[in-house]
Amino acid sequence: MLLSVCHKDAVRIHPAPARAPEHVLWSVASDLRKRLESAVYPDLGSMMEGYALAAAEAARREFHRKLDFTSESIDILDEILVLVGESPELDLEFEVRLWGSYLGEVLRRRYAGSWEMTQYPGGAAAVPAVEVRASRLFPLVKVYRRLTVGDEEDLRAFYTMVTERLGKPAQVN
Q: How confident is the model at residue 172 (pLDDT cuts 50, 70, 90)?
A: low
Exposure class string for 77-98: b at 16+ Cβ within 10 A, else e: bbebbebbbebeebbeebbbbb
Q: Are 148 and 96 in contact (CB under 8 A)?
A: no
End-to-end CA distance of the chain: 29
* Whole-structure pTM value: 0.83
What residues contact residue 115 under an 8 Å CB cut-off, 6+ apart?
44, 45, 48, 104, 108, 128, 129, 130, 131
Residue type for 38, please? S
What kind and span of H or E run contains 118? Answer: strand 114-119
**Euclidean distance between CA atoms 116 and 94, whole angstroms:** 19
Mean pLDDT of 31-59: 94
Residue ranges of domains in the chain, CATH in brackets: 22-166 (1.20.120.1090)
pLDDT score, position 2: 35
Closest of 73, 83, 82, 81 to residue 105, by C-alpha: 73
pLDDT score of 42 more than 80: yes
